[in-house]
Amino acid sequence: MSKVDKHILLRHHEIPDIANIKTYQADGGFETFRKVVSTKMDPVELKNIVHDSGLRGRGGAGFPTGLKWKFVDDNNWPHYLVVNADESEPGTFKDREIMEKNPWQFFEGIMVSAYAISANDIYIYLRGEFWELAHVLDEQIELMKKEGLLGKNLFGTEYELNIFTHLGAGAYICGEETALLESLEGKMGQPRVRPPFPPAVGLYAKPTVVNNVETLANVSLIVEKGANWYRKFGTEKSAGTKVFSLSGRVKNPGNYELPLGTPFRELIYEHGGGIIDDRPIKGIMAAGASSSIIVADDKALDTPMDYESVPDVGAQLGSASVIILDDTVDMSWLINKTTHFFKHESCGKCTPCREGAFWMTSLTERIRSKKGTMEDVILLEDVAKNIKGKTLCALGEFSTEAVLSAIERFPDDFDAQVNK
Amino acid sequence: MTEVLEEKTTKLVNLTIDNLEITAPEGTLIVDAAKLAGIDIPVFCYHPKMEPVGMCRMCLVDVGMPMRDRDTGETIMEKGKPKIQFGRELQTGCTVSVSEGMVVVGYTEKVKKGRQDILEFLLSSHPLDCPICDKGGECPLQNLTIGYGSGESRFDLEEKQHLAKHVPLGDLIWLDRERCIQCARCTRFQDEIVDQPVIGFQNRGRKLQIVTFSEPGFDSYWSGNTSDICPVGALTTADFRFGARPWEMQASASVCNQCSVNCNITFNTRREAKSGGDLVIKRAMPRQNEEVNEVWLCDKGRFAYTSVKKDDRLTQPLIREGETLVETTWEKALDLVAEKAKEAGKEMVSLVGGRLSNEDYFNINQLTAHLGGKSLLNSEMAGGDLVSQVGLGTGSNIADMGQGDAILIVASDLEEEAPLFWLRVKQAAERGAEVIIANARETRADRFAKYKIRIAFGQETAVILSMAGAKEGIAVEFLADDAKVKAAAKVFSEANNAVIYYGSDGLGLSGSEELSKACAFLLSETKHTGRPNNGLVAVWNKANLQGAWDMGFRPSETLAADLKNAKFAYVVGNDPASKDILEKSLKDTDFVVVQDVRLSETAEIADVVLPAQVYTEREGTYTSAERRVQRFYPAVPAPEMTKPDYKITAKIAKRLDLSLEKIAASLVFLDLAEKVADYAELDYVRLAEVTEQWPIIGRDDLFYGGTSYQNTQGLGKQISPAIETETIKYEAFVPSVLSKKDEFLAVPVTTLYDRGSTMLSSEVLQPRIADPYVILNTADAEKLGVEAGVQISVKLNGKTANVTAKLDDSLAKGIVLVPRSMGIPISDPGSITIKAK
Amino acid sequence: MNALLEKHTKDIEDILKKYPEDQKRSAVMPLLYVAMRENGFVSKQDMYDIAEIIKVSATQVASIVGFYTLYHDKEGGKHRVQVCNDLPCALRGSGEYLEKLCENIGIKVGETTEDGLVSVESVMCLAGCDKAPMFQEQNPDGVFYHEDQTVESTLELIEQWRKQEAK
Ligand SMILES: Cc1cc2nc3c(=O)[nH]c(=O)nc-3n(C[C@H](O)[C@H](O)[C@H](O)COP(=O)(O)O)c2cc1C
Ligand code: SF4
Ligand code: FES
């Protein structure tokens, strides 16, 4: 039985040498995978365990993982598992740590998951910047082949499993699952029209599950220890732990794995050590650059970080990339940053995002350069509203979150910038 | 209303769009269902011929669904009607399919505001140069801006993009980068529809730009279509740029005469000062005919009109006086012609080309028969008689072929010989039809063929006979791998419907005659005759060769001798003297009359030359390779002294006491229908009939289908094979082994962009013409010390020429491909010698 | 066989093996990385070669080069110093770091040093937000992270590259 103390994912905190395959195996590693395959466990049973555990996607949308797996079309073969290791949301750096520090658990998680959806090939799509990491993963895959954990006739059964890494090349949009699939097929990373969703028509038009690294890294332990064990962590609707990437104006930025439902205050002040120079906190972005800016009042600080509670303070938990803003941060400066980001990353496929991101950027530029008027701020708000609800994928929507919340919740910052 | 779509699916659903209750097949997209109901939903990126991509977001609608009780699943009612729940956000009508009880609303303030927002975004990048834009007047963006736009820009004009406005993507298409709205219709057309993704997007976000990396740029026979479907003025054609404004032009229906598909076109004409106040053709646009060319044209067909030049036209009858031809009157010329014809009597021959109209052929054949002469066709392809027996059954439409059907292509590079056939067969393959290819070399049709039977040149007939299970007569050792042939034969014979396209790749007249017989035999043996979507198609290399056969003309194996021995040769619409050996024979012919539109080489040695009219100047009909008879109409006035061929012939006939119709082509057609059994049911009125087609295009809503023209002047009629059920006998046959005395065997092949008169005299198409070339196998070339692209010297039929060497790995050793009309005359396979220079 | 394939036959074969027989187009991205090994950018000829290997059009390959920021179609510095100056890093001083760094090397963002050794670029989030300021170094061999940087530490690194080059 694997030892689990406080961490389910960042277990290197307790077992520092866990990146060594021997250490991992000594802790019971790969036993779950071996058991699942060699006893020819019914994939349906596995899907049920994961469904019952309450595990939800850690890539941002929080979609129930087991449910997604159940949508896989069993009348169309082969199936693919694609691991989303694109990790490009500004402020997110958790998947990288999991893969670097606890690689074998990550692998075992994706291997059990592949078996659960009856896939024989796994593609790990890593952002191109993870070039060194990808090469380490490649070596680890070779090692697993030698160990008989990958390849044909695993453990004397019919089951075959292969893992391939695939490097992106610098495009945030490739984190969006259908853009990712396009990219993996050798095309420009532009999102597809949905439906059909990947579990019906995915990679090479075959049923495909796309899941985030963190999501899948939980799976082997969930299968080993059972759905109820996992439900002991977190809240009723947001089960399990979550790796929070804490960044911005805090003393100790970094990844912190905490049960879902932990209040912001604990993350920021206990784990993060509080604000740099002990200045007052001004705002929180819970989902990276794609977030609305939460006004960091007491209510917000006491809000539990889970999928249901964060909307109460006008935001989403998303990928839980918590960016801390203190009183030195001017929100007009901030949205100038985010609009630049989205302008740079808009794939250009749909009109409102392509044109709107550009327009919002030029307006924030004008405001920042003190050439703007209040009318420009109003126009900016209107442009953002006009983008909303009309884009092909969520990137366009994301690009408006910071803008709209900044103007609405921090009007003074704009007042100070414009000519009256 | 929904008939056009109904056939494809069975289940219909009821819904309302803008309060109109309609029924549409399940799975229909909202935009299409609305279109069927006569309601316009604006689109930019959506095109009914392509998969929806939901990019432009212009087609926003509000979509509501009947609410259901969670527990019982029953529809919740409210005031006797189902309660409708609308979504929070607007939906794109181009990506959502209709379903039972759906309510679609496109007129509310919310929807209007949504569309207005999208337009505002689009215009934030778009230049405001409508007054000088070629698309002005037929521009979807312009029209929709007037419909939905807000009238003023809130965008800082200083920040508009300034990009290159005159970018030649290739020789035929120009790109204005500022105007592009990134709808990807052009790139998707090239990728999805013609499988030639030679243009694409580069960069991302607002920097997305159309680029091409092919050599030459935009290397495709289909490029012109992208300009039709471009919803703004970003892509314009080389012929029409700054040429005219759409509203100044008239439209006349015509049929393309560049190949035997007979695509429907519309000529746009305008009177202009530049041409001395004449009415001139400014452009050729596709005219919708879903059974022929849908809404597409190949580039050769689109730009071919530019080859007709006023100054090289024959405008006056000419008569020989010693060494020279001098102008004369019609009376004198016709009198002399009649007199000589009478003298010749049975010893007269008429020789026609492949681009005359049925009416012309009919009259010429009547005249020839009256004198007892021979009606000859200047063509190197045979089989028109068999096509009229076992050609496509009436009601054929390749668009109906798919799963369970088979299409066999033999001895044809279909895209080069008949581009639209290639496209239609490709689509059939995509719908699941099994395509079998029996060719001696790779072609672009291989990409969608399931069975690729690679034969040697000369084995075409043998492979078809063996597919037909012929026991005797296959003397040639079969080299192709047999299992594949058997598998293909099985698929072919078991197919619900099966069509054969045979071409002239590597074949001369005798080869193609044998092949056509074998094909007819195979169809007959497998009972693929006498029904729609079954039968034989000859991929003729001229527009109306099938019509010529139907009207009684036949090619001759002994053409040189026939001409030489004739006392009188009536040469209409072809140029035999451009071939050496025919020129020699013609010099021995006592009297030569040439009837043509240009002073051809034959005209130069003729005794009398009669000026005829180009098909754009007169009426007539063509019969396509699928035996569809279609009308074309005059687009521009003819030079004063010229006459249509049928009329000239009738005038000669009159002097020989034969009364032929001469007043109008429609009247000639009445005679023709009386005498030619297959045409009995037809007349000009029936040929001009139209029925509703899907997709609906070319009305006020150019944003939907593009600028292709709606067909209002006739879809034509397909005629039934003469004998729908007769079985074809095949006498034991020994295919002639291609003799190869020397090291290399030259075989004739067809290339669309040849050096024929159309290409050479069109300034637009000219840049795409290659220098004279032959294609060698790479290994052969190596042995000869020849590299790709170098000049070599070839000797064929006693003539020597310098040509460029092209190399091809996939070609069999010892074979040299010699394109027809490409600088080296070739009509049959034969020995060729090659020297490196 | 084209030049690219000839030079990297084994690597290219290994890459092609990752994808199903009829889906070789998927290999375009890894093949572009192979092409960049030579001198840090993709030449036009490379695009034609790749197109030939995976049987797509050269335009389709060019589209990929244009869409993704890690592919370059022009020569840059041998070491591309790609500093993250996105929101989280900027909150931790990457802006000043970038500015000072440029000052010290004597070039502006987007430029290359005269000797062709270093270009400095400002890029979006690299998933190293807790170790800002940070940059990634892109060179013909690949992409390498350098985290918790100071202007001094980076200058030192550049000095090392310079020395290596001199050898
Ligand atoms: C613009 C955009 C960027 C995204 N980036 C990522 C990413 O970098 N990593 C990720 O795992 N999911 C990302 N997603 C979410 C994915 O689309 C998808 O929901 C996720 O991979 C599903 O996995 P999960 O269910 O395990 O979360 C992104 C979504 C959007 C719209
Ligand atoms: S919202 Fe932006 S990123 Fe998403 S499809 Fe539209 S343009 Fe591309
Ligand atoms: S998004 Fe529907 S027509 Fe463009």
Other CB atoms within a 10 A radius of the CB of residue B176 amount to: 23
Which residue from B408, B573, B401, B398 is spatially nearest to B485, judged by alpha carbons?
B408
Q: Which residues pair with C82 in a beta bridge?
A: C121, C136
Tell me if C29 and A189 make a contact (CB, 8 A cut-off). Answer: no
Handedness of CA A325, A327, A332, A337 (dihedral sign): negative
**CB of A188 less than 8 A from some CB of C:** yes
**CB of B95 less than 8 A from some CB of A:** yes
In ligand 3, the atom with minimum distance to the C-alpha of B42 is 3
Residue C33 in this model has a pLDDT that exceeds 80: yes
Tens of pLDDT along B682-715? 999 999 999 999 999 876 678 888 889 999 999 9
With a 6 Å cutoff on the Cβ, whether A175 touches ligand 2 is no
Q: Are A194 and A178 in contact (CB under 8 A)?
A: yes
Residue B479 in this model has a pLDDT that exceeds 50: no
Tell me if A357 and B156 make a contact (CB, 8 A cut-off). Answer: no
| Band of pLDDT at residue B4, cut at 50, 70 and 90 | very low
Phi and psi, residue B477, nearest 5°: -55, 130
Residue B2 in this model has a pLDDT that exceeds 60: no
Report pLDDT for B303: 96
Helix (H) or strand (E) holding B266: strand B264-272
Q: Are B268 and B251 in contact (CB under 8 A)?
A: yes
Pocket test for ligand 3, best of B29, B50, B57 (most atoms within 8 A of CB): B57
| Band of pLDDT at residue B737, cut at 50, 70 and 90 | low
| Band of pLDDT at residue B472, cut at 50, 70 and 90 | low
Report pLDDT for C87: 97
**CB of C26 less than 8 A from some CB of A:** yes
What is the rounded distance in angstroms from the CA atom of residue B428 to the CA atom of residue B802? 42
Tell me if B57 and A345 make a contact (CB, 8 A cut-off). Answer: no
What is the rounded distance in angstroms from the CA atom of residue B197 to the CA atom of residue B214? 9
Q: Which residue of C has its CA nearest to A287?
A: C88
Q: Best residue in A190, A201, A349 to probe B by mutation, most B CBs within 10 Å? A: A349
**Residue A323: both structure tokens together:** 């960016």
Beta pairing class for A119-126 and A79-85: parallel
Pocket test for ligand 3, best of B94, B181, B701 (most atoms within 8 A of CB): B94
Report pLDDT for B734: 55
Where does chain B hold its CATH 2.40.40.20 domain(s)?
Answer: 744-836
Of B52, B89, B208, the CB nearest to A348: B208
- Specify the CATH number of the domain B166-307: 3.30.70.20
Tens of pLDDT along A44-73? 999 999 999 999 999 999 999 999 999 999
DSSP symbols for B60-105 = EEEEEEE-B-TTT-PBPEETTEE-EEE-SS-EETTT-B--TT-EEE
Fold of A241-326: Ubiquitin-like (UB roll) (3.10.20)
Tens of pLDDT along C76-103? 999 999 999 999 999 999 999 999 999 9
Tens of pLDDT along A255-290? 999 999 999 999 999 999 999 999 999 999 999 999
| Band of pLDDT at residue B435, cut at 50, 70 and 90 | very high
What is the rounded distance in angstroms from the CA atom of residue B742 to the CA atom of residue B214? 37
Which of the listed ranges A246-250, B149-153, B248-252, B462-466 does the model predict with the highest average pLDDT? A246-250
Residue A383 in this model has a pLDDT that exceeds 50: yes
**CB of B97 less than 8 A from some CB of A:** no
Of A173, A347, A352, the CB nearest to B57: A352
CB contacts of A334 in chain C (<8 Å) are 87
Of B52, B156, B206, the CB nearest to A355: B206
Report pLDDT for B213: 96
Domain at B384-541, CATH homologous superfamily: Dimethylsulfoxide Reductase, domain 2 (3.40.228.10)
Q: What is the pTM (predicted TM-score) of this model? A: 0.95
Measured from CB, residues less than 6 Å from any atom of ligand 3 are B 43-46, 54-59, 92, 94
Report chain B's mean pLDDT, rounded to a whole number.
91
In ligand 2, the atom with minimum distance to the C-alpha of A348 is 7
Report chain C's mean pLDDT, rounded to a whole number.
96
Q: Do domains A241-326 and A331-415 have the same CATH topology?
A: no
| Band of pLDDT at residue B159, cut at 50, 70 and 90 | confident
**CB of A362 less than 8 A from some CB of B:** yes
Tell me if A354 and B181 make a contact (CB, 8 A cut-off). Answer: no
| Band of pLDDT at residue B1, cut at 50, 70 and 90 | very low
Tell me if B205 and A354 make a contact (CB, 8 A cut-off). Answer: yes
Residue B810 in this model has a pLDDT that exceeds 90: no
Tell me if C62 and B214 make a contact (CB, 8 A cut-off). Answer: no
Distance from residue A178's CA to the centre of ligand 2 (Å)? 11
Report chain A's mean pLDDT, rounded to a whole number.
97
**CB of C65 less than 8 A from some CB of B:** yes
Tell me if C68 and A128 make a contact (CB, 8 A cut-off). Answer: yes
Tens of pLDDT along B82-115? 999 999 999 999 999 999 999 999 999 999 999 9
Distance from CA of B414 to the nearest CA of A (A): 29
Tens of pLDDT along B486-515? 899 999 999 999 999 999 999 999 999 999
Pocket test for ligand 2, best of A290, A353, A360 (most atoms within 8 A of CB): A353
Q: Which residues pair with B802 in a beta bridge?
A: B793
Tell me if A390 and B182 make a contact (CB, 8 A cut-off). Answer: no
With a 6 Å cutoff on the Cβ, whether A353 touches ligand 2 is yes
Distance from residue A188's CA to the centre of ligand 2 (Å)? 12
CATH of B2-158, one of 1.10.10.10, 3.40.30.10, 3.90.1010.10, 3.10.20.740: 3.10.20.740
Report pLDDT for A61: 92
Which residue from A184, A187, A208 is spatially nearest to A197, judged by alpha carbons?
A208
Report pLDDT for B148: 81
- Specify the CATH number of the domain A11-230: 3.40.50.11540
Beta pairing class for A241-248 and A254-259: antiparallel
With a 6 Å cutoff on the Cβ, whether A350 touches ligand 2 is yes
Residue B52 in this model has a pLDDT that exceeds 80: yes
User: Stretch B408-413: mean pLDDT, rounded?
Assistant: 98
What is the rounded distance in angstroms from the CA atom of residue B269 to the CA atom of residue B635? 7
**CB of A290 less than 8 A from some CB of C:** no
Please state which of the ranges B67-81, B317-331, B539-553, B607-621 shows the lowest mean pLDDT: B67-81
Tens of pLDDT along C42-77? 999 999 999 999 999 999 999 999 999 999 999 999
Question: For A331-415, which CATH class?
Answer: mainly alpha
Phi and psi, residue A126, nearest 5°: -105, 145
**CB of C21 less than 8 A from some CB of A:** no
Other CB atoms within a 10 A radius of the CB of residue B5 amount to: 18
Handedness of CA C68, C70, C76, C80 (dihedral sign): positive
**What is the percent of chain B with per-residue pLDDT over 90, rounded to a whole number?**
76
Q: What are the extents of the domains in chain C?
A: 3-67, 79-166
Tens of pLDDT along A61-116? 999 999 999 999 999 999 999 999 999 999 999 999 999 999 999 999 999 999 99
**What is the percent of chain B with per-residue pLDDT over 70, rounded to a whole number?**
95
Q: Which residue of A has its CA nearest to C91?
A: A248
Q: Which residue has the higher pLDDT, B471 or B595?
A: B595
What is the rounded distance in angstroms from the CA atom of residue B239 to the CA atom of residue B229? 17
- Specify the CATH number of the domain B318-379+548-662: 3.40.50.740
Q: What are the extents of the domains in chain A?
A: 11-230, 241-326, 331-415
| Band of pLDDT at residue B725, cut at 50, 70 and 90 | low
DSSP code at position A234: B
Distance from CA of C124 to the nearest CA of B (A): 15
With a 6 Å cutoff on the Cβ, whether A174 touches ligand 2 is no
Question: For C79-166, which CATH class?
Answer: alpha beta
What is the rounded distance in angstroms from the CA atom of residue A380 to the CA atom of residue A408? 12
Report pLDDT for A157: 97
Report pLDDT for B3: 46
Report pLDDT for B730: 66
What is the rounded distance in angstroms from the CA atom of residue C93 to the CA atom of residue C89? 7
Distance from residue A396's CA to the centre of ligand 2 (Å)? 6
Tens of pLDDT along B338-366? 999 999 999 999 999 999 999 999 999 99
Tell me if B197 and C57 make a contact (CB, 8 A cut-off). Answer: yes
Report pLDDT for A297: 97
Tens of pLDDT along B56-66? 999 999 999 99
Tell me if A168 and C126 make a contact (CB, 8 A cut-off). Answer: no
CB contacts of A391 in chain B (<8 Å) are 57
**What is the percent of chain A with per-residue pLDDT over 90, rounded to a whole number?**
98
CB contacts of C20 in chain A (<8 Å) are 204
DSSP code at position B392: P
**Residue B79: both structure tokens together:** 């005031």
Residue A163 in this model has a pLDDT that exceeds 60: yes
Helix, strand, coil % over all residues of chain C, rounded to 5: 50, 15, 35
With a 6 Å cutoff on the Cβ, whether A88 touches ligand 1 is yes
Residues 6+ apart with CB under 8 A from B79: none
| Band of pLDDT at residue B132, cut at 50, 70 and 90 | confident
Where does chain B hold its CATH 3.40.228.10 domain(s)?
Answer: 384-541
What is the rounded distance in angstroms from the CA atom of residue B611 to the CA atom of residue B468? 48
Q: Are B588 and B370 in contact (CB under 8 A)?
A: no
Residue B820 in this model has a pLDDT that exceeds 70: yes
- Specify the CATH number of the domain C3-67: 1.10.10.1590
CB contacts of A135 in chain C (<8 Å) are 142
CB contacts of B120 in chain A (<8 Å) are 386
With a 6 Å cutoff on the Cβ, whether A79 touches ligand 1 is no
Residue B478 in this model has a pLDDT that exceeds 90: no
What is the rounded distance in angstroms from the CA atom of residue B197 to the CA atom of residue B192? 8
Helix and strand numbers (H, E) in chain A are: 18, 9
Collapsed DSSP state (helix, strand, coil) of residue C113: coil
Q: Which chains pack against C, by 3+ Cβ pairs within 8 A?
A: A, B
Q: Which chains pack against B, by 3+ Cβ pairs within 8 A?
A: A, C
Please state which of the ranges A108-112, A326-330, B303-307, B618-622 shows the lowest mean pLDDT: B303-307
Query: What CATH architecture applies to the domain B744-836?
Result: Beta Barrel (2.40)
